[in-house]
Structure 1
């Protein structure tokens, strides 16, 4: 199995971590794409606004220029000799061209220095009106170099009820004195129609104002806004800072947040601003963002959910494998290690003991007269007896490095690393005493209860070439223990010639006889 697969199998949480990283990467990419789409939406809106503002500026500038040319033509006509002596109808044709009668254009009027109308493009004789109170008259009268002047909105005294503005130029007499004005009116319906033809969305706006902040026309249209002054508002202050520009701002008139593009119309004291509502700019993007965001969220949730499920399956698999591993190395009846596992452990501990020059002890344990116990009390009772013996062994062998196993049938084995012969003998004695203390009746035994015999072998002081030799030594000691009367512990020894006996009930130790083995009898 590849190393990565093993790692994933052993650490299911890695799957969840990888899924979170993958989901985060997908989310980051989606956020980046949405950010780019948002910027693209703003750029498209900006391009649209710039195009609209340029179109409106050129249209307004062209019409004002045409009207101004008409005013200049009147001024030039008044200077021509004999024009004033022409018949009224002929004089009208000479002074006023066809542009004066164009749609949304009002009257072109010529006044004297007192403001009285001398010539009228729409009436012969002229209408009796005095314009001395109009701003476009006063400015020309008081400022010889005013040039073309665009007035504030007003209602004409004659000739209509539509709100209009006037364009005026000064009439200068040959001596340099003030000789009156030539003024032409323009209805604001022209700007209203022009603005209405532009697609700015639901929340868009467009405004044309004089340089002093006076509103001439605004979309969305509200008659009450015509003529108001915006001086002092945040947006107007930014309009006056430079000839053109753009910014995000909130309108003082309706409180809507918009992106503004503004420009000063060349040669005229006019400011045009075109604005799109930020809500309209990002409306389509917002719709797509909801769709993409929902899909990405669903995808990320699905990835993580599948990873969690997969991780759970890996945990179940790992638990099942662990259970199988335990079953493979454990005896099903007693819960101790089986012989195969024990031999693997013994080989490893043998090598370690040889490498580190540390003692290693082994106990071989056999239940005395177990066949007779089975014949008398049945196999079920025999199984219970083996379970009891295994429990006594487990309770006596408690160190983490010690290994206890069912070696086969009624035989058990215990491996005791870093334990010398004396220590192994003590543990063996505890096991013998614990089994006898179970008081399992066994009439076929000379001891009348179930007992065990134990053979002990230790590497310290002995010359064992292999781990198998150690097992054989313990096995030899076990058979000697059985020959010595059972219910005893016998240690394999090549140099010691003493037999040690311990009476389990009295806890006394006695030494008797000679031999080649050490005997511990209960």
Structure 2
């Protein structure tokens, strides 16, 4: 069996030597200085007195060698003394600050329980721990505030694209969605169809039954449109006044006409007075002009188809078909 000697040595160091080293380095700077003064002044003085008492013949040679040895090793000794006094603690503080700089605000020194009187570097480390804790807490508060602000910004941005009366997309929202969906349909060859709806004789509702009744009718029409399309896929919108529409994603003309028929029948059940609904249907045709021009052309064709339905007496669906 082969024994891993470095591993054994490392374990022995961690179990026996390291606790002693940490204990000695954990003393305050004042205590360390006192010990060094004892080692550098008191002990040599005692040694000198002992030598003088014994009167060795080579006392002068001894002091010469001691002086030369001290001068020769003053560099390494100064590093050892500096490391023992403050440098080890300063390196720990530096590593701590570098972690803070990198954004690790949960870093902390492993410190003994606090006592009534603490001085020197231990107080500094304890204060740095508290500073990191405060920064971490404030960072969490800032992140929460930023998340709340972002949520509010998204909400207000969505509100700017919505019609307040019906909750459908407004004209601006429709234009943004139309550009996005037209580009997707143009690049993937997926169908994109539009329904354009016009509530005929709507002004008479306001004049006869009042604006509240007119608002209720528009609100109910918006609910009917939303109920007959796919949430999160299709785009129902209020174009303005009594004009509405839907962008139907991936749906051909025939199916779009079926959806328009369902909307028309549902509207006829809740209509007020002599109002009716004229619906135009058109599908975007890909041309070399680009997706924006093709989308605008589809909108114009759907609007024209709704006008044709209105001219035919209303309460009907008219489908625009490309001439061959």
Q: TM-score range by the shorter chain?
A: 0.5 to 0.7
Matching of residue 57 in structure 1 with residue 47 in structure 2 = yes
Matching of residue 362 in structure 1 with residue 187 in structure 2 = no
- Write the distance in 2 (CA, Å) between the matches of 1:353 and 1:319: 30
Q: Calculate the aligned-residue CA RMSD, in Å.
A: 3.2
Contact persistence 1:462–1:494 (CA under 8 A) = no
Note the C-alpha offset of 1:323: 2.2
Note the C-alpha offset of 1:291: 2.6
Normalising by the residue count of structure 1, what TM-score does the alignment of the two structures yield? Answer: 0.41
- Write the distance in 2 (CA, Å) between the matches of 1:382 and 1:43: 89
- In structure 1, stretches of 5+ residues that fail to align are 1-34, 69-282, 497-522
1:44 maps to 33
- Write the distance in 1 (CA, Å) between the matches of 2:31 and 2:260: 88
Listed one character per residue, the Cα deviations across residues 362-406 of structure 1 (whole Å, up to 9, x for unaligned) are 000112321111112111121121111111111111153311111
- Write the distance in 1 (CA, Å) between the matches of 2:163 and 2:208: 25
Listed one character per residue, the Cα deviations across residues 137-170 of structure 1 (whole Å, up to 9, x for unaligned) are xxxxxxxxxxxxxxxxxxxxxxxxxxxxxxxxxx
Note the C-alpha offset of 1:417: 2.2
Matching of residue 329 in structure 1 with residue 161 in structure 2 = yes
Contact persistence 1:436–1:451 (CA under 8 A) = yes
2:320 maps to 492
| 1:308–1:330 distance in 2 versus 1, CA, 3 Å | same
Normalising by the residue count of structure 2, what TM-score does the alignment of the two structures yield? Answer: 0.64
- Write the distance in 2 (CA, Å) between the matches of 1:486 and 1:403: 24
2:283 maps to 458
Contact persistence 1:361–1:424 (CA under 8 A) = yes
Listed one character per residue, the Cα deviations across residues 399-418 of structure 1 (whole Å, up to 9, x for unaligned) are 53311111010111111122
1:350 maps to 182
Question: What does 1:313-462 align with in structure 2 at a 5 Å threshold?
Answer: 313-437=145-269, 439-440=270-271, 442-443=272-273, 445=274, 451-459=276-284
- Secondary structure of the residue aligned to 1:466 is helix
Question: What does 1:12-31 align with in structure 2 at a 5 Å threshold?
Answer: none
Question: What does 1:90-169 align with in structure 2 at a 5 Å threshold?
Answer: none
Q: Which is richer in strand?
A: 1
Question: What does 1:300-319 align with in structure 2 at a 5 Å threshold?
Answer: 300-319=132-151
Alignment match of 2:310 (pick from 465, 478, 482):
482
- Secondary structure of the residue aligned to 2:314 is coil
- Write the distance in 2 (CA, Å) between the matches of 1:303 and 1:327: 35
1:470 maps to 298
Of structures 1 and 2, the larger Rg is shown by 1
Contact persistence 1:364–1:456 (CA under 8 A) = yes
Contact persistence 1:480–1:490 (CA under 8 A) = yes
Note the C-alpha offset of 1:40: 6.0
Q: For this pair of structures, how many residues does the alignment match?
A: 238
1:131 maps to none
| 1:470–1:308 distance in 2 versus 1, CA, 3 Å | same
- Write the distance in 1 (CA, Å) between the matches of 2:287 and 2:216: 37
Contact persistence 1:358–1:460 (CA under 8 A) = no
Q: Which is richer in helix?
A: 2
Relative contact order (alpha carbons < 8 A, sep ≥ 6): 1 or 2 greater? 2
Listed one character per residue, the Cα deviations across residues 480-519 of structure 1 (whole Å, up to 9, x for unaligned) are 11122222211112459xxxxxxxxxxxxxxxxxxxxxxx
1:144 maps to none
Contact persistence 2:196–2:306 (CA under 8 A) = yes
| 1:296–1:406 distance in 2 versus 1, CA, 3 Å | same
- In structure 2, stretches of 5+ residues that fail to align are 1-23, 57-114
Listed one character per residue, the Cα deviations across residues 167-213 of structure 1 (whole Å, up to 9, x for unaligned) are xxxxxxxxxxxxxxxxxxxxxxxxxxxxxxxxxxxxxxxxxxxxxxx
